[in-house]
Amino acid sequence: MVYIRVEFHGTGELPGYCSGMVCRTPKELFDLLLSDYESHLEIKLTKGHRNVTEEDKNEIAALCQSRLERWEKGNAR
């Protein structure tokens, strides 16, 4: 089984394009999505107008670690 993360590019009514990333395991997909989430948080915290601070990095790391722990708990075998 393979997993695909699809990303759509474009805004509003303008046609855009999409790209995809193939992942071979659920963990590989989770790691990719977690990286996407980290990037999202950086933009959200900085509003795209400043550099990421150490405080931002710590907050992002804590949020990502929380997601990772929840995933690991749900996938423990």
Give the tens place of pLDDT for each residue, 34-69. 999 999 999 999 998 999 999 999 999 999 999 999
In single-letter form, the type of residue at position 13 comes to E
Q: Which domain holds residue 42?
A: 3-74
pLDDT band for position 13 (cuts 50, 70, 90): low
The pTM assigned to this predicted structure is 0.81
User: Which is nearest to 20 in space by CA: 11, 41, 29, 10?
Assistant: 29
Per-residue pLDDT at 63: 96
Using the predicted structure, report yes or no on whether residue 15 has a pLDDT greater than 80. no
Total domains present in the chain: 1
Per-residue pLDDT at 67: 95
DSSP track, 18-47: EEEEEESSHHHHHHHHHHHHHHHHHHHHHT
